[in-house]
Each structure stands twice: as C-alpha cells, then as structure tokens.
Amino acid sequence: MSGNTFGTLFRVTSFGESHGPAIGCVVDGCPPGLPLAAADIQAALDRRKPGTSRHVTQRREPDTVEILSGVFEERTTGAPVALLIRNRDQRSRDYNDIADTFRPGHADYTWWQKYGIRDYRGGGRASARETAVRVAAGAIARKWLAERFGVGIRGCVAQIGEVAVPFGSWDEVGRNPFFVSNAALLPRLETYLDELRREGDSIGARLSIVASGVPVGWGEPVFDRLDADIACAMMGINAVKGVEIGAGFASVSQRGSVHGDELTREGFLSNNAGGVLGGVSSGQDIVVSLAVKPAASIRIARRSINRAGDAVTVGTEGRHDPCVGIRAVPVAEAMLALVLIDHALRHRAQCGDVQTATPKIAGSVDGRRGA
Amino acid sequence: MSGNTFGTLFRVTSFGESHGPAIGCVVDGCPPGLPLAAADIQAALDRRKPGTSRHVTQRREPDTVEILSGVFEERTTGAPVALLIRNRDQRSRDYNDIADTFRPGHADYTWWQKYGIRDYRGGGRASARETAVRVAAGAIARKWLAERFGVGIRGCVAQIGEVAVPFGSWDEVGRNPFFVSNAALLPRLETYLDELRREGDSIGARLSIVASGVPVGWGEPVFDRLDADIACAMMGINAVKGVEIGAGFASVSQRGSVHGDELTREGFLSNNAGGVLGGVSSGQDIVVSLAVKPAASIRIARRSINRAGDAVTVGTEGRHDPCVGIRAVPVAEAMLALVLIDHALRHRAQCGDVQTATPKIAGSVDGRRGA
Amino acid sequence: MSGNTFGTLFRVTSFGESHGPAIGCVVDGCPPGLPLAAADIQAALDRRKPGTSRHVTQRREPDTVEILSGVFEERTTGAPVALLIRNRDQRSRDYNDIADTFRPGHADYTWWQKYGIRDYRGGGRASARETAVRVAAGAIARKWLAERFGVGIRGCVAQIGEVAVPFGSWDEVGRNPFFVSNAALLPRLETYLDELRREGDSIGARLSIVASGVPVGWGEPVFDRLDADIACAMMGINAVKGVEIGAGFASVSQRGSVHGDELTREGFLSNNAGGVLGGVSSGQDIVVSLAVKPAASIRIARRSINRAGDAVTVGTEGRHDPCVGIRAVPVAEAMLALVLIDHALRHRAQCGDVQTATPKIAGSVDGRRGA
Amino acid sequence: MSGNTFGTLFRVTSFGESHGPAIGCVVDGCPPGLPLAAADIQAALDRRKPGTSRHVTQRREPDTVEILSGVFEERTTGAPVALLIRNRDQRSRDYNDIADTFRPGHADYTWWQKYGIRDYRGGGRASARETAVRVAAGAIARKWLAERFGVGIRGCVAQIGEVAVPFGSWDEVGRNPFFVSNAALLPRLETYLDELRREGDSIGARLSIVASGVPVGWGEPVFDRLDADIACAMMGINAVKGVEIGAGFASVSQRGSVHGDELTREGFLSNNAGGVLGGVSSGQDIVVSLAVKPAASIRIARRSINRAGDAVTVGTEGRHDPCVGIRAVPVAEAMLALVLIDHALRHRAQCGDVQTATPKIAGSVDGRRGA
C-alpha cells in the first residue's frame, strides 16, 4: 500500500502537498474523553512554523489548524479526528525549471521513476511541509500521554555541521531559533548559518529526543519492539539518515560489563540502553539521537539529468532551510509521541490484566544525561 | 498486537523459544512458482549456526529445517510456507539461578514486568536463537529477489570493539569465523576475543550490509519509506542500538553541495544516500550500517535485583557469544531481504502499470565503497 | 484500532459526523496516472444525495466534494487523495430530547456505553450521512476498475417490505426514486411508502448488487477471500443485517449436483456461486444480495430508557428515511468497488507474474439473472 | 497479501495442505497467564474430527495437536502460540484424474488460474481440512473469553436440505452426529443422508451460532463493526454462501416499530438486532445464522473442462462429506470466538478507561430464541 498511515492502534493518515489546497490528517483510535481544542494543536504547530527567523525558510504560512471531526464539546469522542491546514503562501513563481530536472540528493528522480507523474511545485508530497501534519497529530498523542501517564517529551539540536552543542538546559531550547540547549553557542551558530546562506549551501544536524515518565512494559517483540518502531518513525522523517537509541554506535566499542545498566531498588545506575531493553521500555528515559542530512535544495549549481536523461546543471533558488534539521525537532518529538501512544494502547490490549509483585524501579537518568 | 509478524505483503510470523520444543515461522504471501527446497534454506541457516568456532556460543544445534507447507513438487504454490526447526541441545542444567534475577542489559526485567510470566530457560523468546527463523525466511526472500530482479545481498563485520576492519574483499567474508572482509585482521581479532572470553566479558560490533541490483522505485512514502522499514528491521534485531543508511551520522557535518549525489546518464557519482532518496530506492546499492551492543550474558558479576526487588549480583555461566554481532551478519542480511521483497510486491501492487521515458541510470557504487 | 480504515492496499480512511463541520476521507494507495476530477466523484454523490424525492430524508445537502490532494493536472499522483464534503444543512433545532435517551434499534445505547461520550446531533458518527464518503471513495475505485479492467458495477432495490420487485431492466433503475428495475411496481411503492410515512413507521429492503467483467483470480484465501471481504463490506454498511453471495441461503436446500456451476469452454452454465469459488473470483458476475433493516428513527413512540436507566418512551420527529435501503444502493455499489480494487492490487502484488495456458472461460451470466 | 492471517490483535496465521506433512497455525497476541494445555485444544478438535460417523468423511485423522511455543508451565506467556497437527491418513491413491480437471463448484479452476500451480491432492490448501486449525485456535480464544468474561459460544445445525430442525435443546446437540438440537428429527436425517450418499450427491445446510455473555461495547465502527467482522469470519469458512445477524433477511419485511428492540431496565424485550447495534455489541446474545452450500466433491458425473480447456466429465470418488455443513458447526463457533476475543482486546485498547453511570441492561434473550 502507499504508506501514508502511521501506527497500529493510534493511526495517523496523512495527506497533502506543499502547493495543493491543503494538508492534513485523520487520527483514528484516539481514546475518548480527552479534552481537546484547536488551540492545543496550534501551539505545537507554531513551534515548527516556517518564517520565524532568517535561519529557516521564509515561506509565510499561518498553519492554522481546523478540527473537522471526532471532538464534541471539546472532548474526543473516540471517532476519527480529522485535522485540516489550508496552504496559503503558494508563491506563484514558475516551477517549470525544476519540473523537468532532478535535484541531486532529492526525491525528484526516484519519485518520478516510481509514479511516472509528480507534483513538482515546491516538492509536492515530498516537501517537508508534510511534516506539519505529524506535529499536529503528535500534539494529540502528547496530550494524552501527559495526562494519562505523565509522559513528557523534549528534543533539541545537539550538533549543526561541525558545531557540537554541549547540553545546557531544556529551558534554553525554546528561547532560540536553533532549538539548542546552550545559549553560549548562539553567536557561533548565527555566523555559521549566515555564512551558509550566503554561499547558497546547506548543512546537516544531529538531534536528541528524550521521553520521560514512560512506564516499564511498552513494546511488542519480536518485531514491533519499541526501539524498532522508534527507528522506523525517525528514519521516516524527511532527510534523516541515522538513528541511535541510548549509547547507539558508541556501544560498538563498549564491553558488556560497561554497557549493561545495573539495577538497584532505587533505580538503574546508567542508561546505555536508552530506556529500552529487549524491545520493551524499562521505565528509564527513552533517549533517541538522529542524523539529519543537509537539504538538497541549494543555490549552488550541481550536475544532474533531466527527464529526457540529458545532462543539466541544477541550482535551486527560492525559500529553503539552510539546515532542515532545526525545524525537525518538533517533528521528531511528535513522531516519538505517536510511537509511544500506539504502544501504550497495544500494551494494555494484550497485557491489561498483568500485575507483578516486583517493584517498578525508578529510572535514574535525567534529560540532561539523556541529551 | 504482540508483534511477531514482519511485513505487509510478504509476511513472516515467527514463533518459538530457546528451550521449547521448536522454533519456526510461517511465510505468507510468497509469489507462486518459485523453485524451493529445504536445502536452499538450510544453506542459509548453516551460516549462522552456533558452535562453528570457539568464538561463538558452543551450543550444538543442527538447525535442521523442515518445510511443512506451501511447496508442491519443489515450487511454491502461493500458500503459506511453514518452516519448522526442532530444538535439540537444550542443556539440562538448572536455570533456577537466573529464573529469579534480572541480568543487567537484558530483557529479563522488562519482559517480566510486561507479561508477568517468562520462560527464563536460555532467555526463552528473547534469545538470539529466535533469529534463526529470520534467516530461514530471509532465504526464501533472497532467492526470489535474486531470480526475479538479480538482487544480491552481502554483509560483513566492519568493527569489533576498538578493532576497525578496513574493507578487503567480499570473498574473504565467508572464509573466517568473524565475517570480516580482511584477513590481515584475523590474528588480532582472535587474540582480542580469546582475551574477552577469558575475562568473561563481551563486546559490541559494527556491521555493514549492502544490497545490489535493487531497481529504482521501491519504498512507500511518507511513512513506509524503504529506509524507514530497513531501520525498523535492523533495530528489531536483538542487541542492535543504531542504524545508518549511506552516509548516516557523517551527513551531520556534510554540506548539501557534498552530500547530494550528482546524477549523470552513466550513473550517480557518489552514494551518500545509501541507495534511498525520498524513501524510495534509487537503483544504487542499498548501504546499511548497524551497531550491535555487547551481549548481556557475561560471567563478570554485576549488581541487579531479583523478583522480590532485593539487591543481588548476577554473573552468567554457560555458552554465550562474546560478540553477538558476529552471528548477526546473516540475520541482518535476511532482514534486509525481507524488507526488499515486501516493497517489491507493494510497489507493483500500486505502480505495476507505471512506465517512464526517462532512462534508469546505473548505480555507480560497488559493494566495496558501500562497505 | 478504531476501525475507520477500509482496505489493505487501496485504503479508505473515513471521518466526520452528521452535524459537524464536514465529512470526508483519505484514499491511500490509488494507482498513479488515473484521470480524476471532482466532477467524476460529484456524479456518484448526487445519486445518493438526500432530499431528491419525498420518499427520502428531506435534509438539503449539496454534498459538494473538494479534492484536497493526490491529484495533479487532473491525474492521480499515487499520493493520498483527500476528499472533503462540508455539512451545510445542520438543522438548528434542539436535540436535547434525544441527547439523553436511546432509540430502540439504534446505536445510541451501545455507542454511549462503549465511548462514554457521544455526539448525539443527528446521530453523529453513526448517521447514514457518513456513507456519502464511501460513495465518493468508491467513485475513484469504480473509475479505475472500469478503465483498467472494464469492470462495471450496478445495483438495485429488489424488495421493499412485502413488495418484491421482479427484475425489469438496469436502465429503469436510474429513472425512479426507489432504485428499482421495474416501472410496473412504482405506483404500488409510492402508495406503500406514503402510507408508512403517514404512520410514522419505517420498513426494510433487499438490495441486489452485481459486478460484471471481474477477471478470474481476485481473492486471498484462506481468510481474506473475495466473498468474505464483500460480506464484511456489506455488513459494515449501516442497517445491513444479512449478506448473500450467489444462491446464498437458497443453497441450503440445493443438491451438489444442482448447485455446482458446470464449466464449458464457452463459459459457466449457471452462477449459483455468484462469481466466487474458493474465495477467488471466477470471471462470472459477482452477485451480492443484502438485507437492510428498517430505520430506527421513527415517529411512533416506543419504550426505552434514558442515561440514568429510567424508563422513557421515544419517538423521533425530524427528517428521516422511511426506507434507508433505498439510498443504500449507491453505497453498496461503492463498497463492492472498494473491495474489488483492493483485491485487484493484492492479486497483482503476489501473482503478477502468473500465466496459465488454460483459457479463461467466459462468464455466462447477465445482470438480469444476477439480480 | 495472501490472506492467511485472521484478526487485528489476536492474530491467527494458518498454514498447511490436506495431504502435506502437517497443518497448523501461530496464534499471536494471546494475553499472558492463561492456563493452557494441549488437552484444552484437543477436546475442541475431537468435535470436528472426521470419521466419527458414516455421515461424514471416512478419512481417519487423530488430529493430535502439539503446542510448540508460547506456553510455559501450562500458562501462556504472551509469546506466539504455535500449534502443529501432523497429517496421518494421506490415502496413497492416484490423484492424477483430478490433477488435470476442475470440479464444478470447487476452487480448482479459480485457484489454478490465480496461482498457476496447485497442490491438487485432496484439495490441497482449499480442503476443509484447513478448518481444523481454526478450531484449535478458537479453543484458546474460547477459554480466555469464558474465564475473563464468562462468554459462552454454542452452535447447531438448524436445517439440512429441505429438513428444517425446530430448536430442541443445546444438550442434545452434543449427542448426535448431525449437531442438531432436536432428537425427534434424527431418524429422518439418517435416512435423508443415507439416501444422498447412495446417490453420490451432497446437500447444503443452515447453521445457527450463538454467543452469550458478551458485554456491551465490543466492535469498532464504522468499518470494523462487530457484525461486519463476524460476517467476514463466517463467509470466510469454506462453502458458506450467506450470513445473517439476528433477524437477518427477515428484517426486509419488518417495520421499524417491530424490528427495533425495546429497552427496559430489566433488559431488551426482543433481539432482532442479534446482539449488535451500530456495529457494537449490546449485551444481548450474538445470534448468527449461515448458509453452507452442498459440497462440490460428488460422485455424480458433471460437465467441466480440463487444463487444456477441453470438455470433460468429472465425478469424484473417495471420502467426502455428503453435508459439509455438519462439521462446520465447531468451525463457525471457533471463528466467532476469534472475532470476539479480537474485539475484546481492541475495545480495551482504545476505551479501557471508559465508565458510564448508565446501568448495563441485561440481555433478555436465551440461546433457544437465538437459535
């Protein structure tokens, strides 16, 4: 099937193109009785909204969300919640230049060969604009996870290009346009990105996402492990090329006597596992790291071919993010929320009657170490 | 649902515990008419079979596979293919010591809290023994992919602990017990692992898996992207903590003008994408890298708790792999095959009628660079 | 999951309530390149539109459909096609009377107990209004089935209450407000329904739906048989209480020597199978019959309880169909189309390479016998 | 996908052919902690076992089931439960006569055209033998439904050919080879079936299946309604051509003022709904009726074609059921159990926190009226 539905029980079906009339989604399987208003979703959308600083695309979209169904007297009814976001700023400029050519590093070539037709305007369905929908759906998931289980999800940019950002504080993340946790790096990042923009180039980024308060027991081995579904969700975000859980690639050179997190009645003594053991949540923070590649739409001219297969050079003018990783933070947080609520529901479906006498030990890791 | 089925159209449902009567799977959705005999599957199983060298678990299992259904006169009929592998070497020793305690870094604690009951014998369902089933199912997928599309899948161990292995040749991989491509490193690895075994410790590994000959067009955006499903499949293998496609985390510090693989009529000029663009295969090699953590079952005693929540120390005697990453190579190859055949079928379901006049450009990257 | 998605590969996700802002759906998995305009869908919607005669609900809804995505330059792109229908005529009258009570024969009681909250306005999500969405999605499926395979789908009302309608001609069906094939019965049906309306009562109906031109081979045994999925689709329409394929319940008293349709090179000699053998289409007409119960919303007062569990009497004023079966014809046709396109795609996914030397024998049955 | 998996959360994946080495299934998603032994399943299998009277096939199969996984110390662990039944009595006679021809009313022709290969021995995968697996899986579902919710499922043959059987008592059903509830009809049925066997013909049957104790609230509108999934499950049983819920086709001529079951605090006053309103269980008995066609394998010679398309006559010697409907009773009971447990789990996944102050009114209908 064309894979535009995410989740098994909490299901998000996404639609829409960058320059079509609208984008949106249907959220099916939301537990009934959850207090929900458009404002709850709008707040999340505003965090990833374009045009908020000179360091992201200058496209002006209000991203106003309308709830079309599934909510009655400001509570969810258990019926599908449809969300609609009208596209407003479809710049009228001519796209014919890119209609016929394929940008290196972009979906242009592969989608064209797969479907034999493509809406090239602004990248069409392949545009990062589609991720607004995930943020909107994720907002519903986050609200339920917070109210029902006290789960909190936070993310930040941990590295942009060569510039690694030592973790500062979660509070700082919301105060700057780069979603970084450490204000000391801001001047350097400003210069770095201004430079890139001048050069008409783009750069990658590393993101760190942490979920706190996840109870032990979520995840469905052997295939639908919590970490496997998280990896799927993260790698399914535009431009992501790598995913780590906990120690990730560092575990390659770790010894078992170091990697394995020791258990005490007071909690785990470390979190190399990143909150997932045997594909099931441990009660510790879920710690995810991802690599976002540099955007393919850059001004610098590069070699490519056109539909006829002839050699051409392609440079993309227009309103693009020099570092798409920045606005990917709310998207990655949302995807993690979607995975978690889905597994919360799956777990109680099969194991709703399970109880053990064994104490549920506290996770010992704070967000800081997680990041 | 309990997640023991993998795939959407080519579906593998796995069952079995380490010390139960048998392990096996049902493969549903296999195209009819594929020549298939038990020997085809047995060859694959023998590659990951335990007890083949002193560097892997000494458990002796013939891993003899029986085809129970779906094959008639040595060709698949389109009906489900059930595969059965009887467990033979269930060492009779007493497991009561681990029955009551939780190994650091192992599924013991999380599965116990999730299910309220567990088959602790040899790890039960959480044992790496379950992965034999994936190799068996993958053998069917690989055969069809090879015969129908000429797809070839190869993998090797690229790093064990601190020992990185520069790529040598694919031919070498089959000749040594470490699945490495470079014979020059063998003496060092032997010493390294003998040392570890003496110390009763374990170590992680990095694997590289490459699929060649995959045509352009496989993958189902926006959620079921080829790379997303590969990430899910790889992170779903026991002990995997990280997954990269193509440049992976290296893309964090790459510029767009470097990362984006240029296209020419003769082929792509690089493969930072790892063969996937916009979630759809490009025709280049699919290049996957994964991090495998060190095994949790080690002799070195570590702190933990028991079912009652009391502090204990746990050290695991018995027949364990000092580096589980080694035998994970055939498993990862198999999982990649399962993802690819599933997407081959999904693609032709929706896009079976698509044709374009645009030439399908050759992938330019050889397995070597991929690895 | 809340079950608002229909289909495996051609997937329709429905949303919306009777008196909310809008109803609609997302159609995912549509093959790319299909010519499609809003007008194609509008024509289908107009057939089931309310208020077209005094014999159906007098609610006035233009049912104007907007295509929000998945179509570019009037052809499908393979991306999800989102369809939106705004609700216009939400009568402002007070619903508080039914907010608190449960209509006999209606979803009121069961949905309230399941979800603990309900949008009672006009039946909310349980309203037959939701079926407009199925008709819209079905229009896309029908267009592809017709253009790709020459499949045609027709339906009619075969019985209303005690009045059985001998099959006349398909042409007649479109000419009268009852979707019957035989004009001779019209005067009697007019009187019959006027009578019912005066009495404030409702009545059931039997529908006959026929698909012609379906090639041999569609259906996925052993569980996802074509007839099983048709039964699911039909029983999933509001108010349907029975489904038959081919001879249906008449086969109970048939002998094997009568029931089994003989094969000749020129075609089958009968169609007791209703076009499905062993869960797979035979090439004959797919013949489906269904029973639609009388509507629960009637003026006649009946005994029930309210939310507090106290005894009440309930009579429903307002704009209701005395025979909901009438407008169910386009809905049933649409659902059959959705099942067929889904199986067309599923079949070519697994069996796209299958060829036999055996001639595909012609179906011998005309629509008339089908009905 | 090839549709050999049934269910969304409680998933049964079936495999095996009539004359292959074995049949069986994997049951995934079973709640952990359920007491389960092979004997629990064996008892159910013995009810549908062939060769128990002269009125069913004389094939001798012990149908001994082996539990391969998912059970530890006689309780389910939450891991997949694999069940294996070896085929014993594969009569060695030559099948070449039917290998090349297509039985009227049988899957022979359609499966051959679909797959291009078929295991013709004893019907291969299309054989009713496959249904033993459903009974085995259903036994697990029934045990959980009974222990967790007190749900009971019973079925009987209500009509064989022209012989309708007025409901007698459920106790009688287990005492005769026809699964009928009324001993008075036994002599007539014996004669009737002996006659058919002499003539080498077969006959259809009508079955009635009733589930008691199902709580209000199971079912997932708008598509995955409880009745829709029941219809799918029943129509998915070999040879079933019609399904009714409650009043079924009788509702066509019912008035709304008669059909709608009135509610009182003491319970519903009738059960025309058959225990399902708006696709959700009402707390009344779930009442299902189904039509089973006469078996296609009969001795009487009939016209058909062979693989080359040439005209032939086909008569089937061998061990066949003159009325396959008889042994379908335990199969239909099992399928109903599979639908119910799946919806029990789906319901608590989404609505596990729902509570209402409205009393859950008693179902007023006993099994007798149900049948």
DSSP class per residue in A155-211:
EEEEEETTEE-----HHHHTTSTT--S-GGGHHHHHHHHHHHHHHT--B-EEEEEEE
> Residue B177 in contact with residue B199, Cβ under 8 Å?
no
**Per-residue confidence (pLDDT) for residue B286, from 0 to 100:** 98
Cα–Cα distance for residue pair B114/A280, rounded to 1 Å: 8
Q: Could you report the per-residue pLDDT of B156-214, keeping only the tens digit for each?
A: 999 999 999 999 999 999 999 999 999 999 999 999 999 999 999 999 999 999 999 99
Nearest-CA residue of chain D relative to B119?
D72
Subunit contact C115:D3, Cβ cutoff 8 A:
no
- Decide if D9 and A350 are in contact by the 8 Å CB cutoff: yes
Q: What is the pLDDT of residue C367?
A: 39
Interface residue D296 vs chain C (CB under 8 A) = yes
Q: Which domain holds residue A97?
A: 5-367
Average pLDDT over residues B259-282: 97
pLDDT computed for residue B60 by the predictor: 75
Q: What was the pLDDT predicted at A159?
A: 98
- Cα(D116)–Cα(C123) distance, integer angstroms: 49
Of C30, C349, C354, the CB nearest to B9: C349
Question: How much is the pLDDT for C366?
Answer: 45
Summarize the confidence of residues C201-206 as an average pLDDT. Answer: 97
- Residue to substitute from B19, B23, B65, B69, interface D, most D β-carbons within 10 A: B69
Please report, rounded to a whole number, the percentage of residues in chain B having pLDDT higher than 90: 85
Q: What is the mean pLDDT of residues C309-326?
A: 88
B346 touches chain C (CB under 8 A): yes
Residue B317 has a pLDDT of: 80
Which ranges in C203-285 belong to alpha helices (H)?
226-235, 256-259
Q: Please name the residues between 251 and 290 in chain A that touch chain C, using a CB distance below 8 Å.
A: none
Task: Share the mean pLDDT of chain C.
Answer: 93
The answer to whether B350 contacts C9, with C-beta atoms less than 8 Å apart, is yes
Mean pLDDT, rounded, for D252-272: 96
Is A23 an 8 Å CB contact of chain C? yes
The whole-chain average pLDDT of chain A stands at 93
pLDDT at D61: 78
SS3 D148: helix
Query: What three-state secondary structure class fits C89?
Result: coil
Q: Is the pLDDT of residue B218 over 50?
A: yes
| B35 neighbourhood in chain C, CB within 8 Å | none
Alpha-carbon distance of A182 to A179, in angstroms, equals: 9
Subunits next to A (3 or more Cβ pairs <8 Å) are: B, C, D
- In which band, very low, low, confident or very high, does the pLDDT at D283 lie, cut at 50, 70 and 90? very high
What Rg value do the Cα atoms of chain C yield, rounded?
21
Position D228 scores a pLDDT of 98
In whole angstroms, give the CA distance from residue D344 to residue D364: 22
Q: Which chains touch C (3 or more CB pairs under 8 A)?
A: A, B, D
How close does chain A come to C237, measured CA to CA in Å? Answer: 17
Statement: residue C280 has pLDDT above 50: yes
Lowest mean pLDDT among A111-115, C237-241, D313-317: D313-317
Residue A75, SS3 per DSSP:
strand
The whole-number pLDDT of residue B269 equals: 96
Instruction: Decide if D257 contacts D367 (C-beta within 8 A).
Output: no
CA distance D349 to A144: 14
Q: Is A32 on the interface with D (CB under 8 A)?
A: yes
- pLDDT above 90 coverage of chain A, percent: 85
DSSP alpha helices (H): ranges in chain A? 38-48, 96-99, 108-115, 131-149, 170-173, 186-199, 226-235, 256-259, 324-351, 367-370
C354–B contact, CB cutoff 8 A = yes
C345·B349 Cβ contact <8 A: yes
Average pLDDT over residues B238-251: 98
Residue A326, pLDDT > 70, answer yes
Are C287 and D248 contacting, i.e. CB atoms less than 8 angstroms apart? no
What mean pLDDT, rounded, does chain B reach? Answer: 93
Quick one: what percent of chain C has pLDDT higher than 70?
94
Angle between helix A324-351 and D324-351 (nearest 10): 130
From chain A, pick out residues whose CB is under 8 angstroms from the CB of B2.
220-221, 350
* CB contact D6 to C (< 8 Å): yes
Beta strands in chain D (DSSP E): 5-6, 11-16, 22-28, 65-67, 71-72, 75-76, 81-86, 152-160, 163-164, 205-212, 240-245, 263-264, 267-268, 276-277, 280-281, 286-292, 302-305, 311-314
- CB nearest B349 (choices: C9, C33, C353): C9
Taking CA–CA distances from B115, the nearest residue in chain D reads: D32
CB D7 within 8 A of CB D26: no
Nearest residue in chain C measured CA to CA from D274: C241
Read off the CATH number of the domain in which C46 is found. 3.60.150.10
Report pTM: 0.97
Tokens of B122: 């040899």
Task: Find out whether D181 and D300 touch, Cβ atoms under 8 Å.
Answer: no
pLDDT at B366 over 50: no
Chosen for mutation from D133, D263, D282, D316 (greatest number of chain C CBs closer than 10 Å) is D263
Q: Which residues of A touch B104 (CB under 8 A)?
A: 260-263
A242-283 per-position pLDDT tens digit? 999 999 999 999 999 999 999 999 999 999 999 999 999 999
Residue C371, pLDDT > 50, answer: no
Residue A166 pLDDT > 70: yes
Residue A305, pLDDT > 50, answer yes
Q: Residue C319: what pLDDT?
A: 65
Which of C141-150, D51-60, D278-287 bottoms out in mean pLDDT, i.e. has the lowest?
A: D51-60
> How far apart are the CA of C242 and the nearest CA of chain A, in angstroms?
25
The residue-averaged pLDDT of C180-192 equals 97
Dihedral sign from CA coordinates of D172, D173, D176, D178: positive
Mean pLDDT lowest among A347-356, B95-104, C110-119, D93-102: D93-102
Interface test with D, best of B5, B13, B125 (most D CBs within 10 A): B13
Give the residue-averaged pLDDT of D132-160. 98
| Selected residue of C347, C350, C354 to mutate for chain B interface (largest B Cβ count, 10 A) | C350
Percent of chain C's residues with pLDDT above 90:
85
Whether residue B222 and residue A3 make contact (CB cut-off 8 A), yes or no, is yes
**Residues ≥6 apart with Cβ < 8 Å to A94:** none
In the prediction, which pLDDT does D161 show? 98
Lowest model confidence (mean pLDDT) among A86-100, C300-314, D21-35, D220-234 = A86-100
* pLDDT tens-digit series, residues D286-343: 999 999 999 999 999 999 999 999 999 999 887 678 999 999 999 999 999 999 999 9
Q: pLDDT value at position C370?
A: 40
pLDDT in tens, B277-312: 999 999 999 999 999 999 999 999 999 999 999 999
| pLDDT attached to residue C368 | 38
CB contact under 8 A, A32 and D352: no
Q: What is the mean pLDDT of residues C132-139?
A: 98
Of B30, B349, B354, the CB nearest to C346: B349
Cβ A350–D33 below 8 Å, yes or no?
no
The answer to whether C32 contacts B348, with C-beta atoms less than 8 Å apart, is no
Report CA dihedral (B301, B306, B311, B315) to the nearest 10 degrees: 0
Q: Which residues of A touch B8 (CB under 8 A)?
A: 1
Count of the separate structural domains present in chain C? 1
Nearest CA in chain B to D73: B119
Q: Give the phi and the psi of residue D322 in degrees, each rounded to 5.
A: -65, -25
Q: Which residue of C has its CA nearest to D280?
A: C110
Residues in A touching B311 (Cβ below 8 Å): 264-265
Position D201 scores a pLDDT of: 96
Residue A366 has pLDDT above 50, yes or no: no
Structure tokens at D247: 């009043």
pLDDT at A370: 40
d(CA C253, CA D250): 18
C214 φ, ψ to 5°?
-70, 125
Chain D contact for A305 (CB, 8 A cutoff): no
D366: confidence class by pLDDT, cuts 50, 70, 90: very low
Q: Tell me the chain C residues in contact with residue B351 when contact means C-beta distances shorter than 8 Å.
A: 31-32, 78
- The answer to whether D272 touches D259, Cβ cutoff 8 Å, is yes
Q: What is the pLDDT of residue A95?
A: 66
**Confidence (pLDDT) at C78:** 98
Given an 8 Å threshold on Cβ–Cβ distance, is D277 in contact with C351?
Answer: no
Contact B79 D15 (CB under 8 A): yes
- pLDDT value at residue C110: 97
The per-residue pLDDT for C2 is 76
Interchain pair C119, A15: CB under 8 A: no
pLDDT value of position C369: 44
Rg (CA), chain A: 21
D354 shares contact with chain A (CB less than 8 Å): yes
Query: Given this model, what pLDDT does residue B371 score?
Result: 38
The radius of gyration computed from the CA coordinates of chain D, to the nearest angstrom, equals 21
Cβ-nearest to B15 among D4, D80, D125: D80
Q: What is the pLDDT of residues B60-100, one digit of tens each?
A: 778 899 999 999 999 999 999 999 999 987 765 656 667 89
Query: What pLDDT is stored for residue D56 in this prediction?
Result: 73
Residue C274 · residue C287 · CB < 8 Å = yes
